[in-house]
C-alpha cells in the first residue's frame, strides 16, 4: 500500500470518527508528519498511533467537558499538544517518537470535542458552524506551520526547533478558544447590539438583539404574506401609529384604525396624581413611596400591585414595608425576593390581602380580573435606561433620542401598566402615579394624553389612600 493511500484512509477514518473538520486536520497533520528516516512499517505505525490517540482523546474529551467545562478541556488539549510535540521533537528512538505522537493524537481528540461544545454555548443560532470552522482553521494553520518548521530545521534538532514545533500549535490550541466569545460577539452583532458579560467558569454570556427589526420583518414576514394585521390596545401614541410603524418597518401604504374602548373608564377607573411628593431623584423619595404604598395597602386590604423601574428601589422599599407593624395582616411579595413572576402571581391570586412589588416583566402580560387587583401604583415614569446597550445603539441612529425613542417608549409602557387594572367591564379600581414629573415637566402631557379618560384626583399625597378607598367603595 502506498503512503498516499494510507494517508487518505487515515484521514477518512478521522472524518468518520470525529467529524469532517477533524478528519481534515488529521489528514493535513499526517501528510506533514512522515518520518522519512523510518521505514514504511514504522511510518504506518506512527500514523496509526496518532489516530488511536485522537480516538482516546475524543472519548476522554466528552467526559472532561461535562466534568470540568469546555474551555478547561480545550486548554488541557493545548497543554497536551505541547508535551507531545516536545517529546516527539527530542525523541532519541522510535519508541519515544510513538509516545509523543500518541500524546499529540490525544490532544487533537480533546480539542475536537471541546471546541464545538464550547462554541455552541456562546454562538448565536445559525452561526455556530461558522465559528467552529474558524477555530478549526486556526488550529490547522498552527499545526501545519509547526511541522513545516520541523521539516525545515529538523536536522539540527536544536532546542529552538523543539520550542518552535511545540509552542506554535500548542499556543493555537490553548488560546484558540479565547477569541471564540469575541468572534461570536462580532458575528452576532451585525445590525444588532450585543453585550458580553463574564459569568463564572463558562467565561462569558453573550446576548444579542437586532437594532432595527423592521428590515427583518419586511423580508421574513411581510414579503411572504398577502396581508398582515397588527392589533393591540397599546400601539398608538398621541393618536398615531408613527412610533410603532417606524419600529416594525411599515410604510405610508398601511391602513390604520383606532377603535374606542368598550370600557367606561370614567366610572371604572380613578387616576391619582399626588402633587407634594419629592422628585424621584431626591433621597427622601423612597421613604415617601414606602409611606404612601403602606397607607394604600392598609386601607384597601392589600389587593395592590406596585410597579417599579429599579430592582434596587424595589428591594429597599420591600425591606422597609416588611418592618412595618401596621402591615402585619398584609402579605408583602417582592419580585426576585419572594419568588419569580409565575409563582408570585399564583400566590397573589390565592392570598386574602396581598401586596405585590414588581419590575419590568409585571408592567405587561398580567391578567388579574375582578377585586383581586384593585389598585396599581406606578412609582416612576418608565423611561428606558440610557446605558442599556440596545437602547444606546438605537439612540445613535436618530436625531432626537428622547423625543423619538425614550418618550414614546415610556408612554406606551405607562399605558401597559394602566392596562393591568381594568380587564373586564365589571372591574373597578385606581391607578396612582407617584412621579411628579408627569405634572411638572413639559413632556408630562404626553403621558397624560395616552392614559384612558378616567376620573382623576390631583392633590396632596396624604389624601390618596382615602380617595382610593372611597372610590373602591363606590362613594
State the pLDDT at residue 251: 84
From the number of C-beta atoms within 10 Å of its C-beta (0-12, 13-18, 19+), residue 198 rates as: exposed
State the pLDDT at residue 330: 92
Q: What value does the mean pLDDT take over residues 219-240?
A: 85
Q: How confident is the model at residue 438 (pLDDT cuts 50, 70, 90)?
A: very high
CB contact at 8 A, 189 and 372: no
Q: How confident is the model at residue 45 (pLDDT cuts 50, 70, 90)?
A: low
pTM of structure: 0.59
Joined grid coordinates for residue 388: 442599556
Q: Based on the domain organization, do 234 and 276 belong to the same domain?
A: no
| pLDDT tens readout for residues 162-184 | 444 444 444 444 444 444 444 44
Q: How confident is the model at residue 142 (pLDDT cuts 50, 70, 90)?
A: low
Residue 355 counted as domain residue? yes
More confident residue, 101 or 275: 275
Q: Based on the domain organization, do 308 and 401 belong to the same domain?
A: yes
Q: Based on the domain organization, do 141 and 223 belong to the same domain?
A: no
pLDDT at 248 over 50: yes
**pLDDT-wise least confident of 100-109, 318-327, 402-411, 437-446:** 100-109
pLDDT at 427 over 50: yes
Q: Based on the domain organization, do 177 and 75 belong to the same domain?
A: yes
Select from 114, 112, 119 the least CA-distant residue to 65.
Answer: 114
More confident residue, 126 or 20: 126
More confident residue, 108 or 340: 340
CA separation, residue 77 to residues 46, 54, 57, 104, 251 (Å): 20, 11, 8, 9, 54
More confident residue, 335 or 18: 335
Q: What is the 3-state secondary structure (H, E, C) of the chain?
A: CCHHHHHHHHHHHHHHHHCHHHHHHHHHHHHHCCCCCCCHHHHHHHHHHHHHHHHHHHHHHHHHHHHHCHHHHHHHHHHHHHHHHHHHHCCCCHHHHHHHHHHHHHHHHHHHHHHHHHHHHHCCCCCHHHHHHHHHHHHHHHHHHHHHHHHHHHHHCCHHHHHHHHHHHHHHHHHHCCCHHHHHHHHHCCCEEEEEECCHHHCCEEEEEECCCHHHHHHHCHHHCCCCCCCCCCCCECCECHHHHHHHCCCCCCCCCCCCCCCCHHHHEEEEEECCCCCCCCCCHHHHHHHHHHHHHHHHCCCEEEECCCHHHHHHHHHHHHCCHHHCCCEEEECCCCCCHHHHHHHHHHCCCEEEEECHHHCCCCCCCHHHCCEEEECCCCCCCCCCHHHHHHHCCCCCHHHHHHHHHHHHHHHHHHCCCCCCCCCCEEEEECCCHHHHCCCHHHHHHHCCCCEEEEECHHHHHHHHHHHHCCC
Residue 363 CB contacts under 8 Å (≥ 6 apart), including other chains:
307, 382, 413, 416, 417, 420
Q: Based on the domain organization, do 232 and 117 belong to the same domain?
A: no
CB contact at 8 A, 115 and 135: yes
Q: Based on the domain organization, do 121 and 223 belong to the same domain?
A: no
CATH of the domain at 133: 1.20.1250.20
Q: How confident is the model at residue 447 (pLDDT cuts 50, 70, 90)?
A: very high
Overall domain count for the chain? 3
pLDDT at 378 over 90: yes
Q: Based on the domain organization, do 229 and 300 belong to the same domain?
A: no
State the pLDDT at residue 200: 44
Residue 465 counted as domain residue? yes
pLDDT at 117 over 90: no
Give the number of other CB atoms < 10 A from CB of residue 245.
Answer: 17
pLDDT at 357 over 60: yes
Residue 257 counted as domain residue? no
Q: What value does the mean pLDDT take over residues 281-285?
A: 92
pLDDT at 100 over 60: yes
- The whole domain housing 306 covers 265-472
CATH of the domain at 410: 3.40.50.300
Residue 258 counted as domain residue? no
Which of 172, 201, 230 is a domain's end point?
201
Most confident of the ranges 112-121, 125-134, 330-339:
330-339
Q: Based on the domain organization, do 126 and 169 belong to the same domain?
A: yes
State the pLDDT at residue 406: 92
Residue 61 counted as domain residue? yes
pLDDT at 452 over 50: yes
CA separation, residue 176 to residues 108, 117, 120, 183, 330 (Å): 13, 14, 15, 11, 57
Q: How confident is the model at residue 141 (pLDDT cuts 50, 70, 90)?
A: low
State the pLDDT at residue 132: 62
Residue 353 counted as domain residue? yes
| pLDDT tens readout for residues 299-330 | 999 999 999 999 999 999 999 999 999 898 99
Q: What value does the mean pLDDT take over residues 205-225?
A: 82
pLDDT at 18 over 50: no
Residue 468 CA to residue 298 CA, distance in Å, equals 11
Mean per-residue pLDDT of the chain: 75
Q: What value does the mean pLDDT take over residues 394-407?
A: 90
Residue 371 counted as domain residue? yes
Residue 212 CB contacts under 8 Å (≥ 6 apart), including other chains:
191, 249, 394, 397
CB contact at 8 A, 94 and 38: yes
Joined grid coordinates for residue 210: 437586532
Q: Based on the domain organization, do 376 and 435 belong to the same domain?
A: yes
Q: What value does the mean pLDDT take over residues 341-360?
A: 90
Q: What value does the mean pLDDT take over residues 324-337?
A: 91
State the pLDDT at residue 146: 53
State the pLDDT at residue 371: 83
State the pLDDT at residue 360: 82
Q: Based on the domain organization, do 379 and 322 belong to the same domain?
A: yes
Residue 427 counted as domain residue? yes
Determine what percent of the chain is predicted with pLDDT higher than 90. 27
Q: Based on the domain organization, do 282 and 422 belong to the same domain?
A: yes
Q: To which residue does cell 394585521 refer?
A: 229
Q: Based on the domain organization, do 435 and 316 belong to the same domain?
A: yes
pLDDT at 14 over 80: no
The alpha carbon of 395 is separated from its chain's Cα centroid by a whole number of angstroms, namely 20
Amino acid at each position: 500500500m502506498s503512503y498516499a493511500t494510507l494517508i487518505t484512509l487515515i484521514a477518512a477514518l478521522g472524518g468518520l470518527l470525529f467529524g469532517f473538520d477533524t478528519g481534515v486536520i488529521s489528514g493535513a497533520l499526517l501528510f506533514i508528519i512522515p518520518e522519512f528516516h523510518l521505514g514504511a512499517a514504522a511510518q504506518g505505525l506512527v500514523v496509526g498511533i496518532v489516530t488511536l490517540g485522537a480516538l482516546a482523546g475524543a472519548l476522554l474529551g466528552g467526559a472532561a467537558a461535562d466534568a470540568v467545562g469546555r474551555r478547561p478541556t480545550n486548554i488541557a488539549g493545548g497543554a497536551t499538544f505541547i508535551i507531545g510535540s516536545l517529546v516527539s521533537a527530542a525523541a532519541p528512538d522510535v519508541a519515544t517518537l510513538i509516545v509523543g505522537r500518541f500524546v499529540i493524537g490525544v490532544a487533537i481528540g480533546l480539542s475536537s470535542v471541546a471546541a464545538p461544545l464550547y462554541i455552541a454555548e456562546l454562538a448565536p443560532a445559525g452561526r455556530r458552524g461558522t465559528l467552529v470552522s474558524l477555530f478549526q482553521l486556526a488550529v490547522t494553520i498552527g499545526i501545519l506551520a509547526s511541522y513545516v518548521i520541523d521539516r525545515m530545521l529538523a536536522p539540527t534538532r536544536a532546542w529552538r526547533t523543539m520550542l518552535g514545533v511545540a509552542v506554535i500549535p500548542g499556543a493555537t490550541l490553548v488560546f484558540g478558544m479565547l477569541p471564540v466569545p469575541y468572534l461570536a460577539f462580532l458575528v452576532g452583532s451585525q445590525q444588532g447590539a450585543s453585550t458580553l458579560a463574564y459569568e463564572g467558569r463558562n467565561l462569558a454570556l453573550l446576548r444579542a438583539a437586532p437594532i432595527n427589526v423592521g428590515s427583518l420583518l419586511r423580508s421574513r414576514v411581510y414579503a411572504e404574506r398577502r396581508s398582515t394585521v397588527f392589533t393591540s390596545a397599546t400601539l398608538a401614541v398621541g393618536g398615531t401609529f408613527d412610533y410603532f410603524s417606524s419600529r416594525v418597518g411599515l410604510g405610508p401604504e398601511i391602513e390604520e384604525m383606532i377603535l374606542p374602548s368598550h370600557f367606561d373608564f370614567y366610572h371604572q377607573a380613578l387616576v391619582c396624581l399626588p402633587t407634594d411628593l419629592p422628585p424621584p431623584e431626591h433621597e427622601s423619595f423612597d421613604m415617601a413611596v414606602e409611606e404612601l404604598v403602606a397607607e394604600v395597602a392598609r386601607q384597601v386590604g392589600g389587593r395592590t400591585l406596585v410597579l417599579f423601574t429599579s430592582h434596587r428601589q424595589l428591594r429597599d422599599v420591600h425591606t422597609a414595608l416588611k418592618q412595618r407593624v401596621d402591615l402585619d395582616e398584609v402579605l408583602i411579595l417582592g419580585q426576585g425576593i419572594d419568588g419569580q413572576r409565575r409563582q408570585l402571581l399564583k400566590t397573589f391570586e390565592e392570598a386574602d390581602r396581598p401586596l405585590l412589588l414588581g419590575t419590568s416583566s409585571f408592567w405587561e402580560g398580567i391578567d388579574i380580573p375582578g377585586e383581586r387587583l384593585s389598585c396599581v401604583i406606578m412609582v416612576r415614569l418608565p423611561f428606558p435606561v440610557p446605558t442599556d446597550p440596545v437602547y444606546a445603539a438605537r439612540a445613535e441612529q436618530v436625531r432626537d433620542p428622547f423625543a423619538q425613542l425614550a418618550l414614546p417608549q415610556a408612554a406606551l409602557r405607562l399605558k401597559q401598566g394602566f392596562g393591568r387594572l381594568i380587564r373586564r367591564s365589571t372591574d373597578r379600581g385606581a391607578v396612582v402615579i407617584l412621579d411628579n414629573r408627569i405634572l411638572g415637566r413639559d413632556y408630562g402631557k404626553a403621558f397624560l394624553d395616552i392614559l384612558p379618560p378616567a376620573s382623576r384626583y390631583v392633590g396632596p399625597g396624604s389624601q390618596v389612600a382615602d380617595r382610593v378607598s372611597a372610590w373602591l367603595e363606590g362613594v
